[in-house]
Each structure stands twice: as C-alpha cells, then as structure tokens.
Homo-oligomer: A and B are copies of this chain.
C-alpha cells in the first residue's frame, strides 16, 4: 500500500524521537539528524562540527544541552571516551542492547544482548544489570 510510508511529513520530526516532548527547535532537529547519521561514535565536538555544515552559527552549549536531552530520551548512549571527551552513539534498538565497536574505523553497530548474568557467583553480588561493549572489525575493515 502506497501510503504505508506516508512520507508526507517531510522531516517527520525525528526530534520527537530524539528528545521526547517539549519544544523542538530547528537546531535540535538538525543535531538529532546528524547524530542519527553518524556511522561511528562521536564526541560533542564531532557533532558540533558536523552540524555546523548545515547550521552555521550553532554553539557548543546548544550541542551539549541537546546531547543531554537525547541521552535522557535514550536516543543516544555513552559508549566510552576518547582522550578526555565522552563518546556517544545513536541507538537503533530501543530496549536492552549493547554495541559493537570496530577497532579499525570506529564504526559502531547495535548488538543483541546475549549475556546470561551467570556471574551472580561473583562475590555474592545480586546482579541487576550489565553493560557490554564488543570490539572487533566491521565488514569493511576485515582483511
């Protein structure tokens, strides 16, 4: 059925998904789009540089505030640090999942969770959650 994709709403407020409710500015819309299109992990500064291409004049403070909002909404997630900067990635999956990071080019993909928290035996801790990051080479970086 043609209408299924109902492409109409042009920019179909990706911002809604990225920030939840609230006022949606053109800057935040642009930031969300760029964050979603990054194929690798990015820092606040990477985001600023990429967003400025299409939205000159945007400030770093705006990016930080948008990043905080996107993280709160679960649209992006912290995956580590590079130097002193925090790295984020856009999450495709919504529920519990993890990330696979390419040690070659830095590309990041979502990964299903296959961890059976059998580590309960570890010191008598009652495991309530976990965080897993896999490292490897993405298809294009494999020899």
Q: Which residues of A contact B (CB under 8 A)?
A: 81, 86, 98, 100, 102-103, 109-112, 114-120, 122-139, 142
Would you call B123 and A109 a contact (CB within 8 A)? yes
Residues of B near A116 (CB, < 8 A) are 114
Contact between B118 and A127, CB atoms less than 8 A apart: no
Q: Are B100 and A122 in contact (CB under 8 A)?
A: yes
Q: Copies of this chain, how many?
A: 2
The answer to whether B130 and A126 have CB atoms under 8 Å apart is no
Partner of A135, one of B81, B103, B109, B127: B127
Q: A114-B119, A124-B139, A129-B136 are in contact. List 16 more A-B contacts (CB 8 A).
A: A81-B81, A100-B122, A100-B123, A109-B125, A110-B122, A111-B122, A112-B119, A112-B122, A120-B136, A124-B138, A127-B134, A128-B136, A129-B135, A130-B135, A131-B134, A132-B132
A91 to chain B, nearest CB (A): 14
Secondary structure class of chain A's binding surface, majority of residues: strand
Most buried by B among A86, A125, A135: A125
Nearest Cβ in chain B — how far from A32, in angstroms?
Answer: 22
- Interface contact A134-B117, CB-CB below 8 Å: yes
Q: Chain B contacts of A138 at CB under 8 A? A: 123-125
User: What residues of chain B lie closer than 8 Å to A120, measured between beta carbons?
Assistant: 136
